[in-house]
Amino acid sequence: MTVWVLGDQLTADVGPIQHTDHVLMIEAHGFADRLRYHPQKLLLLFSSMRHFRDSLRADGYEVTYITAETFGEGVQTYFTANPGDRLVLMEPPSHGAGDRLQHLVENCGGTLTRVENELFVTTHAMFDSWAGEHEEGRTYRQENWYRHVRRETGILMEDGEPIGGEWNYDDKNRETPPKEWSPPPVPTFSHDDITRSVHAFVSDRYPDSWGRVPSVEEPLQWPVTREQAVSLLDHVIDDRLEAFGPYQDAMLTDEWALSHSLLSAALNIGLLTAQEVVDRAAAAYQTGTAPIHSVEGFIRQIIGWREFMRHVYRRSMPELAQANQLSQTEPLPPLYWGGETEMQCLSEAVNHVYDRGYAHHIERLMVLSNFALMYGVTPQALNEWFHLGFVDAYHWVTTPNVIGMGSFGSDVLSSKPYASSGNYINKMSDHCKSCPYAISKTTGENACPFNALYWDFLKTNEETLRGTGRMGLMYAHVDKKDDTEWAAIRSRVDEIRSLAQEGEL
């Protein structure tokens, strides 16, 4: 039996690789020509694959490592040398990927057996049976799923009850840091010959990629080996987890990471398993390293949101990728490609993505998506930008987050859009203080663009949104505005759109 290890499954600790010493890996380059992928994402992927190959060989595995333009070519090369071989693969989470690979293998006369993907904590069967029993209507509820997973797995549970007495400590997790607080320094990782040669290859092969190309001697931001990923996890548990809870929704000027874990890049390619990250966080509570509200909030992101996104995506594809229930039509404004805007919050967030292929969750949701949603950008245009720009972006996780959560293209993940005026950003960040736009103004010169866009968004999408129960309060405010106010709002929105299109917002 030969185990085919994909580039996002770089682990020898779980799955069928534990029962064989024959491994196939195919490094395909053509897929990355399709979009202008961030150079740091390509560097991370190809370097991690080559490091994993070498670590397997050092551990005695026989690894066939094929470099090819496409998976099709790679599979052909493999079966020419190994006719009729039987391959085993952990099910890839992105829609249709398993079927496509199966087809390629069978076309070359081989067989492919697909097995459960053990990089995740929960199984397809677990979600499907929960959804069948508990969920009614179109919208799945993350909080219900999360509690179910805790009950089933015993994570953060004691005698059948949640540890600490509450399922959720969100009320303690919405703070902004005091002035004297500074986040822990962000770890980086050193280059070696493999990374240097991948760096040269990526720079040469993908000259049109979007994002900053780091200098070849600059320390790496994202781990490319298991050892580096584990050292990042150690650092997260010891130095970041404690403040993760309270400050997870905050934004600060010139702070791109705050207390976020920065683990998604490593988790999503298998350098860490979700289970080990959760176990380490739970142990940190037991040893008193971090308080329950931080540990619970962090674990919820993984066994709640991350697993939830993967399953809802699986059950909602292929429709989810094309969903656009608000019939949005605008292209992504140029500021997403260059960060050239006077809006402090957007400029910061776009530059974070350009510099490192990363922005934290609140920047993704309440700045980058919120603006695009209310501006009227098609969910698909925004999804493509996230997909190419982020180091942790893979179809199964980007699509539900961007199309479902960020763009409200579909209501499978939420019954209400994550739309908000500038008030939210002002409350959760220090950006508005140094922004030339006035947060207190909705219309007129220098009014914060988020404000007019917000009211216009509610008015334009009234038919779809007014009926959804949780929007009632907002529509009470909509109803209070008179024709003169609406005319001023419309005129400000027209102005915002033309300034944005000209790159002058």
Instruction: Give the residues lining the site for ligand FAD (CB under 6 A).
Output: 260-264, 267-268, 301-302, 305-306, 309, 360-361, 364-365, 369, 386, 390, 392-393, 397-398, 401-402, 405-406
Helix (H) or strand (E) holding 123, with range, is none
Q: At its nearest, how many Å lie between ligand FAD and the CB of residue 349? A: 11
Nearest by Cα to 310 from 461, 120, 491: 120
User: Based on CB atoms, which residue is closest to ligand FAD, 2 or 383?
Assistant: 383
User: 276: buried, middle or exposed (CB in 10 Å: 19+, 13-18, 0-12)?
Assistant: middle
CB of 286 to ligand FAD, least distance (A): 19
Which CB sits closer to ligand FAD, 344 or 383?
383
- Compute the distance between CA of residue 216 and CA of residue 198 in angstroms, rounded to an integer: 10
Give me the least distance between CB of 391 and ligand FAD, in Å please: 9
Cα distances from 74 to residues 78, 355, 418, in angstroms, run: 6, 33, 42
Beta carbon of residue 495, minimum distance to ligand FAD (angstroms, whole number): 26
For residue 89, which of 13, 30, 21, 23 has the smallest C-alpha distance?
Answer: 23
State the virtual CA torsion across 292, 293, 296, 301 in degrees, nearest 10: -150
Tokens of 133: 């029993």
Output the smallest distance, CB 450 to ligand FAD, in A.
16
Q: For the CB of residue 494, give the shortest distance to ligand FAD in the complex, in Å.
A: 26
Name the residue nearer to ligand FAD (CB basis): 79 or 390: 390
Q: In Å, how far from its chain's centre is CA 316?
A: 18
Beta-carbon contacts of residue 334 (< 8 Å; ≥ 6 apart)? 340, 500, 501, 503
CA distance 468 to 273: 38
Min dist. Cβ of residue 40 to ligand FAD (A): 14
Minimum distance from residue 329 beta carbon to ligand FAD (Å): 20
Of residues 22 and 339, the one with the C-beta less far from ligand FAD: 339
- Would you say 343 and 437 are in contact if contact means Cβ atoms under 8 Å apart? yes
In contact, 38 and 389? CB cutoff 8 Å? yes
Could you tell me which of 377, 381, 379, 386 has the C-alpha nearest to residue 404?
A: 379
Q: Are 471 and 416 in contact (CB under 8 A)?
A: yes
Q: Find out whether 356 and 38 touch, Cβ atoms under 8 Å.
A: no
Q: How far is the CB of 129 from ligand FAD (least distance, A)?
A: 22
| Of residues 392 and 456, the one with the C-beta less far from ligand FAD | 392
Is the CB of 173 or the CB of 461 nearer to ligand FAD? Answer: 173
Strand ranges for 13-164 from DSSP E? 22-28, 62-68, 86-90, 111-115, 157-158, 161-162
Is the CB of 25 or the CB of 359 nearer to ligand FAD?
A: 359
Q: What is the spatial distance between Cα 322 and Cα 379, in angstroms, rounded to a whole number?
A: 8
Between 390 and 455, CB nearer to ligand FAD: 390
**CA-wise closest residue to 342 among 495, 500, 457, 211:** 500
Q: Which is nearer to ligand FAD, 41 or 53 (CB)?
A: 41
C-beta of 85 vs 307, nearer to ligand FAD: 307
378 vs 398, which CB is nearer to ligand FAD? 398
Nearest approach in angstroms of CB 309 to ligand FAD is 4
For the chain, the straight-line distance linking the first and the last C-alpha, in angstroms and rounded, comes to: 58
Q: Minimum Å distance from CB 490 to ligand FAD? A: 27
